[in-house]
Copies of this chain bind each other. A is one copy, B any other.
Amino acid sequence: MVPAGVDFHKSYLHPRRSGRLKMKAFSPYGLVRRREESGTSSGGQRGRRKWMIVSNSRQTRDVNHSPSVFLGIDGGGTRTRALLVDIATGTARAACGPSTNPHAGGFETAFRNLSVVLSELFEGDGDRAPQVDCAFAGIAGLRSAADRGEFARSGILEGIAGRLAYGHDAYGAWAGALACAPGLVVLCGTGSKVYGMTPSGKTVETGGFGFLLGDEGSAAWIGLQGLRRVVAAAQGRAPATALSDALLACLKCRSVDELPERVYAAGLTSRRFASLCPIVAAVAGGGDEVARGIFREGGRKLAELARAAVRSFAGDDTVSVSYQGSVFECGELILEPFRTRLQERGSRVALELPRFSGVEGSVLLAMRDSGLENPVNVLAGVLSRTERG
């Protein structure tokens, strides 16, 4: 349905996995409690390595233990992905679940959803689950120290990982796209933002204010623009195209007059509008000029976000710019206008293909945080030997 896009999202991270979630086996934070209660006990064989299930407390750990199991979390506006990489066995496994953005559905929902993803990740392990040495959790909406404190107090990841850091999902996305090198990543999923790091280590951000105040080019923005064109077409202010039928059918509206009821009565969430983005992409892929125009405008606006962020980089050096997120999976529909506007006269950017995905970037940050040498090569090595490569 959606035109072939960039191929950094491979099968093992595919959202269809979330369909396998066994909710009946889940109780909130149950996984964590079970682990906290288990204490130091029961070694087990898995691959080439002997696992020790230990309590949360770092004091009980073997001080000579060299870190080899890393967990990355990428909590986006719509989905949360987890990736567990074991460099000793050279294996990786992944899980996917609902959004953990605390400002979308509240902290309790975010904690529950995070637990769901972890339950899936460790499903079937029982007490033989690997001890995670280091984890980085990148969560959408986790901006303030207070927010990070809430997550830390929940104890969910603390029960699993020996060493742990929380940040927002853009940090993992940047780490993945540019393999932790200075530069910018343009994130475009449910929402949109630009995040980056200067050579001196200063962080840079533009965008990311949600679908009403900004988020141009995001899936929510694209869905909303689609609906606005449907209304304009019905009123003779714009050409009526295939987009109208497709979006009205998707929202189960017999006519455009039913649209306000469907949109306003159901509550206004960015995720709801973002869910229409694949429809707009499909219609655009079929050649519809109105739908293509939405992607053209979105791509240009994303490039403008990035160009505004480039000004935060000192001097005249060229700035690496890469990208992440589900909207870029729509391929040239969004990439062509993005690339063109980004590289217009006067810009000092070098567009780079994303090296790793956001959740892989989170693993990279966990590896770097543990002091592991050359994490980029290590991760690339493991991934090349797993389903990804």
Contact = CB atoms under 8 A, between A and B. Distances in A.
A21 to B, nearest CB: 28
A231 B260 contact: no
A212 B268 contact: yes
A103 to B, nearest CB: 7
A372 interface: no
Chain A interface size band reads: 20 to 34
Contact of A311 (B236, B264, B268, B311): B236
Interface string A297-316: 00000001100110110000
B206 A228 contact: no
**Copies of this chain present:** 2
Contacts of A159: none
A224 B206 contact: no
Contacts of A231: 209, 213-214
Nearest to A256: B209
Interface string A53-67: 000000000000000
Given A103-B264, A224-B212, A268-B268, A206 B236 contact: yes
A237 B207 CA distance: 10
A77 B231 CA distance: 20
A227 interface: yes
A165 interface: no
A232 B260 contact: no
Nearest to A210: B260
A54 to B, nearest CB: 39
Contact of A210 (B210, B263, B304): B263
A209 B311 contact: no
Contact of A213 (B237, B259, B304): B259
16 contacts: A205-B235, A206-B236, A207-B235, A209-B260, A210-B260, A210-B264, A212-B224, A212-B227, A212-B268, A213-B228, A213-B259, A213-B260, A214-B231, A214-B232, A235-B308, A237-B305
Which A-B residue pairs are the 7 nearest by beta carbons?
A206-B235, A237-B308, A236-B308, A209-B231, A213-B231, A268-B268, A214-B231
